[in-house]
A and B are shown apart, each in its own frame.
Chain A
Amino acid sequence: MTIADRVLFVVLITFSIAGMVIVQEAIPQGAYVNIEIDGSLAYTFPLDIDRIVPVSTPDGNMIIEINDEKVRVSESDCPKKFCVSQGWIAKGAIICLPNKTVILVGQGMPYSEKELDAISG
């Protein structure tokens, strides 16, 4: 192995790890809003299309709003309304325990599986 080999290896590893970190920080990771009710996935919406979704669960009703690549629970008939007071989120999750509902901003369908089903080298 020559010195140039080692330098190239270190440079490439550094740049790709730096790239991964930058991507993690700079670009919003969640492209989809997944709404899970009682442990099972009920809805998946793209984060970049604004909409208002009424969600009815066996334990209560709520209204979920997607606007400007953020999501919030605007109304809920649960007793303490923690989910409403959490406000807008661009990543992470809103969890409403009384309604057993989890609103998760994440990769609903990873691009690699959705659009590239098979690539062979």
Chain B
Amino acid sequence: MQSQDKYRIAVLAAYALALHGFEYLLPTPIPWLRLGLANIITLVALTLFGFSTAMSVTLIRVILASIFTGTFLGPAFLLSFSGGVSSTAAMGLIYVVQRNLFGPVGLSLIGALFHNIAQLTLAYFLFIQRIEAILIISPLVIFIGVLTGFTNGVVADILIKNILKKDGKTIHNVT
């Protein structure tokens, strides 16, 4: 790994952590509702620098954020970790296999969907163990996830276009 890559990952992870922390402060009407703003940074990392950068940024963000909020290795951490890793993995897989099929909005929707699926599955095995409770809540969770995922994707799209316009020459996607 070149030092330039390390620098990129550090800067992106710092942005992601800041958004994650900002989001943590926002009041939400439902306790488990999260906007997933940090996924904007994951999308930028994935589209501009490739899968390994995106995954590094996600891992650093999830682990550091849980240490800062005191939930490291707790149930909230497990949900956050599984959601973050599976959504980044899903987005990365789609991006690597079919680069031009989906734009940032589509990738964001896929990420949000896999984030929700991973968390609901984990919540079933770890906490609730009542399949009907999971089934009742799943469509609502996924619906909200689609809305937040769409919004994040639009923001990421604008951000990526602006970065490319400004620094397009210095960015080489390494995947």
Contacts and interface: CB of A to CB of B under 8 A. Distances in A.
Whether chains A and B associate is yes
Interface of A: 1-2, 4-5, 8-9, 12-13, 15-20, 22-23, 27, 29, 111-113, 115-121
B34 A120 contact: yes
B12 interface: no
Contacts of B11: none
A116 to B, nearest CB: 6
Interface of B: 20, 23-24, 30-32, 34-36, 38, 69, 71, 75-76, 79-80, 83, 100-103, 105-106, 109-110, 113, 115, 119, 123, 127-128, 130, 132-133, 135-140, 142-143, 146, 150, 153-154, 157
A23 B135 contact: yes
A9 B150 contact: yes
Contacts of B23: 121
B18 to A, nearest CB: 14
A112 B102 contact: no
Contact of A121 (B36, B101, B105): B36
28 contacts: A1-B154, A2-B103, A5-B102, A5-B103, A5-B109, A5-B153, A8-B109, A8-B110, A9-B146, A16-B140, A16-B146, A17-B139, A19-B143, A20-B143, A23-B139, A29-B136, A111-B133, A111-B136, A112-B31, A112-B137, A115-B127, A116-B123, A117-B31, A119-B32, A119-B79, A120-B80, A121-B23, A121-B79
A12 B31 contact: no
A22 B132 CA distance: 13
B106 A16 contact: no
A100 to B, nearest CB: 31
Contacts of A18: 139
Contacts of B143: 13, 16-17, 19-20
A99 B30 CA distance: 35
A115 B139 contact: no
Contacts of B142: 12, 15-16, 19
